Amino acid sequence: MSGYRKLGRTASQRKALLRNQVTNLLYHGKIETTESKAKEIRSIAEKLITLAIKEKDNFDEVTVTAKAAKKDAEGKRVKEVVNGKRVTVFDEVEKTIKKDQPSRLNARRKILAYLYPVTEVPADGRKVRSNTVKVDMAAKLFDEIAPKYAGRNGGYTRIVKLGARRGDGAETVIIELI
């Protein structure tokens, strides 16, 4: 007897399905799926959340100086002529960044190796290509989800049964983060 559900798919299809569903669960907070898929998703999602909880405070705040392009009132870069060429003017800006400790970096890489990249698209549908934003799912896990569950020892998800699906009679459920 195997230690997991095969879900009627080949190994690569099953892994892709579970990665997609876990990514959507962590991004949206809840999804609707079949009961057997939800039980598989639950174990994977809870392991990722536990990993994020263990490493959520394991970083150093570092101040760095960076060059940033100077911009005018319209938001365009300021350029000046130097030796007959137009050159962008830069200002030095001090920023505070989070520098991961080695164990948090390892956890971040494990999380990013499993989850698919998420791209937010604007709701209005205009300028879709220029206004898309890539979501850092590892940062979302560390900064939003992990602090919410820091006091809990497991049990981060809930499965609510909805009933049989009309087309094939499969038991449907909603799996959500508590």
pLDDT for the residue numbered 28: 95
Instruction: Write out the residue range of the structural domain in which residue 141 sits.
Output: 11-57+102-177
What tens digit of pLDDT does each residue of 87-97 get? 888 989 898 98
Strand partners, 79: 88
**pLDDT value of residue 50:** 95
- Select from 100, 126, 157 the last residue of a domain: 100
Q: Do residue 131 and residue 73 come from a single domain?
A: no
CB 25 within 8 A of CB 31: yes
Contacts of 108-113 with C-beta under 8 Å, sequence gap 24+, read 108/55, 108/138, 108/142, 110/51, 111/48, 111/51, 111/52, 111/137, 111/138, 111/141, 112/137, 112/138
Rg (CA), the chain: 22
Domain end position, chosen among 100, 129, 156: 100
Q: Is the pLDDT of residue 1 over 70?
A: no
Task: State pLDDT tens for residues 49-67.
Answer: 999 999 988 899 999 998 9
Does residue 92 sit in the same domain as residue 122? no
**1 lies in a domain?**
no
How much is the pTM? 0.81
Q: Are residues 106 and 134 in the same domain?
A: yes
Query: How does pLDDT run across 98-133, given as a tens digit for each residue?
Result: 898 999 999 999 999 999 999 988 777 677 777 788
